[in-house]
Amino acid sequence: MSTSRRVTLFDIADALGISTGTVHRALHDHPGVNPMTRMRVLQVSKNMGYRPNVAARLLSQNKQFRVSVNTLKGTTSFWDEVRGGILEEAQARGTHEADIEFRTFPGLGEGEEEAFEATIAAESDGIILFPSRPGSMRTWMRRASRSKIPIVCVSTDAPHSNRLAAVSVDTMASGSLAADLMGRFLNRRGKVAVTLSVLAISEHAEKLTAFEKTVRTLHPEITLLDPIEDHDVESEAYDKCRELFAAHPDLAGIYVTTEASMPVIQAAKDAQLLERLTIIATDLFPALIEQIRAGKVSATIYQRPRTQGRLAFRVLQEFLVNGRYPALPVKLAPHLVMAGNLDFFLEKQASDSSNVSAASDLPSDLTYNNDD
Amino acid sequence: MSTSRRVTLFDIADALGISTGTVHRALHDHPGVNPMTRMRVLQVSKNMGYRPNVAARLLSQNKQFRVSVNTLKGTTSFWDEVRGGILEEAQARGTHEADIEFRTFPGLGEGEEEAFEATIAAESDGIILFPSRPGSMRTWMRRASRSKIPIVCVSTDAPHSNRLAAVSVDTMASGSLAADLMGRFLNRRGKVAVTLSVLAISEHAEKLTAFEKTVRTLHPEITLLDPIEDHDVESEAYDKCRELFAAHPDLAGIYVTTEASMPVIQAAKDAQLLERLTIIATDLFPALIEQIRAGKVSATIYQRPRTQGRLAFRVLQEFLVNGRYPALPVKLAPHLVMAGNLDFFLEKQASDSSNVSAASDLPSDLTYNNDD
DNA sequence: TTGAAAGCGATACCAG
DNA sequence: CTGGTATCGCTTTCAA
């Protein structure tokens, strides 16, 4: 019961006295099979416990994919990490190595459509993209979907765009964790504000919703102020925070749901508020690391960009190779980084990214990489 | 430069006017190749950017592995999750499907060696095991390593045992995160205790060390009591905690580094201390979920057993198939679960484990699974 | 020390 | 509607 050889197409064909070609067509719903034979094939293959040999399939298909990765230019480390994760996964999954073409655009909405146009022109087989303006990309993306090009969104979803999948952090978990922590750090009382880029992006709205709901449920004595929209403009974030601090000099805490925590910190500093403000930020980059280490930022919700990249590629490849649709929008549990675990966190990150470059050695083909 | 077909063994052989067999032997350091030819093969293959086709390799090798998984009987959900992760990964990596034989033993040290013996007798090609008594298993494991059977430790390492790899949570990150949180929750002052099973297990010692160090550095006004060893015996944990609470009625917080948080909670309750004690626990199981929801436990450090299982299998297979050694002991970043994000967390967990059972359908071969 | 060739299992195409 | 067969790239065995 355990040494038995694996069931192959041939075994099924043999059992039924037909050919492997027919069995194959039957199993894959290809046209031109007698419904009667089809049923029998399905029946027998189930009984025999047939499971296709993936290696053989890959080998015989022998396809090569061209995938385009359209993301923001890597000013911050976030997108560098995402791209790193994509490459990493592409190498780890060795077979079917994809031609990956990176196209970057400078800012939110800037050059995004041009990059997309170029992608279409290049006849990519699949696209991984950051929809910086989900609204305006929607029509483009639907066009692509009409020409059957699968699209995977990273970091932000583009609803109603027919994308194949979206990979992002679990926004509800992020917002609610931030809320509970904030309540605890503040001993369950005080005024708290939230900043985000725009409410129109559902990820940001969700973080806010989850934050508000959790605060109200778990820490009802906390007062929530109206959310601040910075439209991803640093100066706007700064100015609005100054206004906020002026209006509420007794503000106790602020949750920054985006990467834009530096302007907030600067504003707090300039308003002489930094020392007694509890800040919970998002993501991790050198300037923020300093602030955490210095105790100015209490915690940050790390969105695991590298893992996002890896999963985005995996989902896309799974679709291109096996035609498999991802179960759900893929949601990653965020990691919490505080002064306490900061160093261990950075250490692990460093070792993760290092073993990628080494992969281009000799007959070494796959690199071993762990999950986070 | 991008449309070029991939370089194959044949291309190299062709370029050198030799056969693929020789090229193959040269690349893999097999005996019986003229050093001269070997050098040239290496040279050319590097120049041509040769990268082996993994699918072809798997297909031609066509091996089948028997791997034994020796773990604790699943009284708690931890080991069920680990086993689930192993199965999941085994399916996801479809090719080379392994015969997985689960052997469980009832308690720490009980039946462990018998299980190991059975594993050896069954001639497994690889072993994934939880060394519940690293000390006593050491000699066994070395014996196995002499017979070339690779061993991957999960959850706990067995140092100096020649194991191939160890997969566990990042204990330093866990301890230090717990410490920082504890300090914050307690407003940086008060008496704090730590419980663990035995100091002899390095993972536990590390959590303690990291906890202590972080408390001293970041929250120097916190007083640390001596650690409590419960030897994984519930009654011992309970009794020692009662003593602790009697001796220190002003105890402010306690960090439970193991799964054994229930006896601690019970003791605190019986000592009328539960309401004002800040508890940080480890892992997640139904009884603990209730306590978190009820606000009795402030937070728990989730060790991601499912992911541990997945990685353990991946490492083992990577070694068995490609002969690749893992870079380092694999350390997972822990997840933080609090009342705030508890529900989102459970929801995600549920969806993760559900799509495994569905995998045994029809020609569906690989299941899509995300990283955590 | 090297070459030649037979698989591995699924796919796809061409005849019938 | 079905059978037969070449093919993918690597591994391995048998001869030379």
The phi, psi pair for B100, rounded to 5°, reads -105, 125
State what percent of residues in chain A have pLDDT above 70: 91
Q: Indicate whether B251 and B309 sit together in one domain.
A: no
**Residues of chain B contacting A324 with CB distance shorter than 8 Å:** 364, 366, 368
pLDDT score, position B95: 59
pLDDT tens digits, A31-65: 888 999 999 999 999 999 888 888 888 888 887 78
Chain-centroid distance of CA B52 in Å reads: 30
Q: Which residue is nearest to nucleotide C9 (CA to C1')?
A: A56
pTM of the model: 0.87
The predicted model gives A207-233 an average pLDDT of 96
Asked whether strand C has any atom less than 7 Å from the CB of A95, the reply is: no
d(CA A37, CA B332): 50
The verdict on residue A89 lying in a domain is yes
pLDDT tens digits, B117-171: 888 888 888 999 999 887 778 787 877 777 778 999 999 999 888 899 999 999 9
pLDDT score, position A122: 82
The nucleotides of chain D lying under 7 Å from a protein CB are: 1-5, 7-13
Closest nucleotide to A23 by C1' from CA: D2
Residue B359 has pLDDT above 90, yes or no: no
**Residues of chain B contacting A124 with CB distance shorter than 8 Å:** none
Q: Which residues of A150-170 are buried (b: 16+ CB within 10 A; e: fewer)?
A: bbbbbbbbbeebebbbbbbbb
Q: Indicate whether B159 and B222 sit together in one domain.
A: no
**How far A176 CA lies from chain B's nearest CA (Å)?**
5
The predicted model gives B300-316 an average pLDDT of 95
The verdict on residue A353 lying in a domain is no
Give the chain B residue whose CA is nearest to the CA of A336: B336
Asked whether strand C has any atom less than 7 Å from the CB of A21, the reply is: yes
User: What are the CA-CA distances from residue A136 to residues A32, A70, A314, B6, B308 (Å)?
Assistant: 43, 15, 26, 38, 41
pLDDT band at B364 (very low <50, low <70, confident <90, very high): very low
Q: Calculate ∠ Cα B258-B260-B263, nearest 5°.
A: 150
Nearest by CB to A370, which of B42, B330, B339?
A: B330
Q: Indicate whether A178 and A292 sit together in one domain.
A: yes
d(CA B225, CA B320): 46
State what percent of residues in chain B have pLDDT above 90: 63
Which residue from B95, B97, B98, B100 is spatially nearest to B58, judged by alpha carbons?
Answer: B95
The predicted model gives B192-205 an average pLDDT of 93
Nearest by CB to A327, which of B46, B338, B368?
A: B368
CATH number reported for the structural domain that contains residue B32 in this entry? 1.10.260.40
The two tokens of residue B207 are 């959590």
pLDDT tens digits, A105-147: 988 878 888 899 888 888 888 999 999 887 778 888 877 777 7
Q: Indicate whether B319 and B235 sit together in one domain.
A: no
How many domains does the structure of chain A reveal? Answer: 3
pLDDT tens digits, A312-346: 998 998 888 777 788 788 999 999 999 999 999 99
Which among A247, A282, A302 is the end of a domain? A302
**For residue A117, what are the domain limits?**
58-168+305-331
pLDDT score, position A259: 93
Asked whether strand C has any atom less than 7 Å from the CB of A28, the reply is: yes
The predicted model gives B298-323 an average pLDDT of 91
Residue B210 has pLDDT above 50, yes or no: yes
The nucleotides of chain C lying under 7 Å from a protein CB are: 1-5, 7-14
Q: Indicate whether B200 and B89 sit together in one domain.
A: no
**Residues of chain B contacting A362 with CB distance shorter than 8 Å:** 27, 42, 45-46
Q: Calculate ∠ Cα B321-B323-B325, nearest 5°.
A: 125
The verdict on residue B296 lying in a domain is yes
Q: Indicate whether A189 and A72 sit together in one domain.
A: no
Nearest by CB to A55, which of B45, B55, B178?
A: B55
pLDDT score, position A371: 41
**R_g of chain A computed on alpha carbons:** 25
**Residues of chain A contacting B43 with CB distance shorter than 8 Å:** none
Is pLDDT larger for residue A196 or for residue B159? A196
Residue B304 has pLDDT above 90, yes or no: yes
User: What are the CA-CA distances from residue A110 to residues A67, A100, B35 (Å)?
Assistant: 21, 22, 56
Asked whether strand C has any atom less than 7 Å from the CB of A27, the reply is: yes
d(CA B309, CA B354): 16
Q: Indicate whether B178 and B116 sit together in one domain.
A: no
The two tokens of residue B85 are 């992760």
Q: From the CA of B323, how many Å to the C1' of C13?
A: 38
d(CA A369, CA A367): 6
Question: How close are the terminal C-alpha atoms of chain A, in Å?
Answer: 37
Q: Indicate whether B269 and B310 sit together in one domain.
A: no
The verdict on residue A372 lying in a domain is no
Residues 6+ apart with CB under 8 A from B117: none
Give the chain B residue whose CA is nearest to the CA of A98: B2
User: What are the CA-CA distances from residue A291 to residues A274, A297, A355, B185 (Å)?
Assistant: 11, 6, 28, 20
Q: Indicate whether A243 and A127 sit together in one domain.
A: no
Q: Indicate whether A161 and A212 sit together in one domain.
A: no
**Residues of chain B contacting A42 with CB distance shorter than 8 Å:** 362
Helix (H, G, I), strand (E, B) or coil at A345: helix
The verdict on residue B195 lying in a domain is yes
pLDDT score, position A43: 92
**R_g of chain B computed on alpha carbons:** 25
Q: Decide: B101 and B83 in contact? Cβ < 8 Å.
A: no
d(CA A43, CA A12): 10
The verdict on residue B294 lying in a domain is yes
**Residues of chain B contacting A306 with CB distance shorter than 8 Å:** none
Chain-centroid distance of CA B57 in Å reads: 28
Residue B247 has pLDDT above 90, yes or no: yes
Is the Cβ pair A184, B179 closer than 8 Å?
no
Is pLDDT larger for residue A200 or for residue B224? B224
Residues 11-70 of B with CB under 7 A from strand C: 17-22, 25, 31-34, 36-38, 56, 59-60, 62
Q: Decide: A57 and A47 in contact? Cβ < 8 Å.
A: no
Which residues are paired to B105 by β-bridges?
A: B72
The phi, psi pair for B213, rounded to 5°, reads -60, -45
Q: Which residue is nearest to nucleotide C13 (CA to C1')?
A: A21
To test the contact with chain B by mutation, choose from A25, A186, A209, A371 the residue with the greatest count of B C-beta atoms within 10 A, namely: A371
Q: Decide: B82 and B155 in contact? Cβ < 8 Å.
A: yes
Q: Indicate whether A115 and A215 sit together in one domain.
A: no
Nearest by CB to A56, which of B59, B66, B339?
A: B59
DSSP-derived secondary structure for A252-276: EEEEE-SSTHHHHHHHHHHTT-GGG
Give the chain B residue whose CA is nearest to the CA of A365: B51
Provide the strand spans (E) within A215-317. Answer: 222-224, 228-229, 251-256, 278-282, 299-302
The verdict on residue A343 lying in a domain is no
The predicted model gives A293-311 an average pLDDT of 96
Pairing status of strand B165-169 against strand B335-338? unpaired
Is the Cβ pair B54, A366 closer than 8 Å?
yes
Q: Indicate whether A296 and A311 sit together in one domain.
A: no
The two tokens of residue A244 are 């906020």
CATH number reported for the structural domain that contains residue B196 in this entry? 3.40.50.2300
User: What are the CA-CA distances from residue B215 to residues B50, B202, B222, B278 (Å)?
Assistant: 52, 20, 7, 15
The two tokens of residue A46 are 């189930």
Is the Cβ pair A328, B348 closer than 8 Å?
no
The verdict on residue B191 lying in a domain is yes
